[in-house]
Structure 1
Amino acid sequence: MARTGIFHHVGTFLLFAAAILLLITTISAPVINDIGILKVTLANRSNIRHSAVTFGTFGHCVLDVAPVNTDQDFCTKNHVGYNPANIMAGIDHTTFNSASTDSTKALTRVMILHPIACGLAFIAFLMALGAGVCGAIFAAMVSAVTWLITLVVMACDFALFGIIKNHVNRDGSGSHAYYSVGMWTTLAAMICLFFGTFVVLFTCFSSRMHRNDRRNVKAADAGYAAGPTTTRRHFWQRRSRY
């Protein structure tokens, strides 16, 4: 891929960037307390205490909890699926109807796709790193599947935490919810995968075209070097001189 090497490296870098971005979302709260997909600053926030709730892939954390002279965070254990509506109802008495509670609880199980997409993006990066034609084709295929998975989980994230965000901000409790780092890294990863897939696939077919062109040129040069060819005829096909 000599003629398309730069573009291929760009596509490979995009796949690597997508894997790192999805990793950040995967290790959000409760793995890393302050990284969340949704963050809620609580009404008791002050200059001394910065109380907040971070919702991540495998649970949530309550940051900077009482007493005031300590800096403590409370985090749940890592597990697939939790109930963010009940969590906010218990912390600041935000009201949710049963449909919102059930929907958000079910959608948290879809977030298991975050680490799956992260792993697939890294596999696509390793395949593209070899720079071979076959490797590039498989890398583009895996990247396309990863993009679809990331698109699905991102849509579920926006739906899930959009419900929580709207209820918290409209409840009048004084708490404020907003999308945090984990949401935007998922969005950025989806964009990187989209362009990375097409760049790697384009360089693959472009390299193949250049290879065929070089073969045709070599064949033509070999024909000119050998000179014109003559066909030997059998003795009965030869014309008599007399």
Structure 2
Amino acid sequence: MAASAALPGLFFCFSAMILLILVSVSSPTLNSISFLNANQYAFGVFGYTGSQVHVGYYFPLPGDINTTTLHNLTSVLILYPIAAGLSGLAFLFGVCGAGYHRAGTVFMNRLRSNGINANWGNANWLALGALVALLIGSCTAACGVFGHYRDKRSTRRR
């Protein structure tokens, strides 16, 4: 019998997994999903429009924006696919149980001061949705632990 109290947590973990997978296949794999759109480039987890797929990249934009710190920050984007995998594991464990900041704004202002048109991409909202789904999924799964799992059998005295 399925543990119905665990189903909301299972749903939210699945939703977070799907959203994080979409974020992970952002530019250059899927240019319609990006973290940052600047000039003709869309920047994603593994590169930007027209680049090879790799972890960590330098921005192909004019100005003095390419620093070691920004390169290292683009390397940290590898955490999105890792989070997708972990939420996938949470979903699989849930199936088994059920069957039973501001830094981005400062960076964009620096781009704009160099004459580069930059704005937020939609991957930020997908990642935020995944975070909210994981938080709700964690809360509902924690509440589901306290559910009533005994079979409803009539107890008769003989």
TM-score by length of 1: 0.58
**Aligned twin of 2:132:** 191
Of 3, 10, 13, the match for 1:12 = 10
Separation (CA, whole Å) in 2 of partners of 1:162 and 1:106: 18
In the other structure, the counterpart of 2:29 is 31
Displacement of 1:132: 4.6
After TM superposition, which residue ranges in structure 1, 4 or more long, deviate above 3 angstroms? 161-164
| Larger Rg over CA atoms | 1
How do residues 60-99 of structure 1 correspond to structure 2 at under 5 angstroms? Answer: 60-61=48-49, 75-84=50-59, 87-89=60-62, 94-96=63-65
Q: In the alignment, what sits opposite 2:85?
A: 119
Deviation at 1:169, TM superposition (A): 2.0
User: For residues 106 and 22 of structure 1, do their structure 2 counterparts lie closer, same or farther at Cα, with a shift above 3 Å needed?
Assistant: same
1:102, distance to aligned residue in structure 2 (A): 2.1
What is the CA-CA distance between 1:166 and the residue it aligns to?
A: 1.6
Q: Point out which structure has higher relative CO (alpha carbons under 8 A, 6+ apart).
A: 2
Flag structure 2 segments of 5+ consecutive residues without an equivalent. Answer: none
Using the alignment, how far apart are the partners of 2:134 and 2:32 within structure 1?
26
**Number of matched pairs:** 158
Where is the helix percentage greater, Structure 1 or Structure 2? 1
Which segments of 5 or more consecutive residues in structure 1 lack a partner in the other structure? 43-51, 62-74, 136-154, 227-242
1:102 counterpart letter in structure 2: T
User: Percent same amino acid at aligned positions?
Assistant: 29
- Per-residue CA shift, 1:162-204, capped at 9, x if unaligned? 4431212233x2x321111111111110110011011012112
1:95 and 1:167 in contact (8 A); partners too: no
What is the letter of the counterpart of residue 80 of structure 1? V
Q: CA RMSD in A?
A: 2.6
- C-alpha contact 2:6 2:98 (8 A) present in aligned 1: no
Q: Determine helix, strand or coil for the equivalent of 1:60.
A: coil
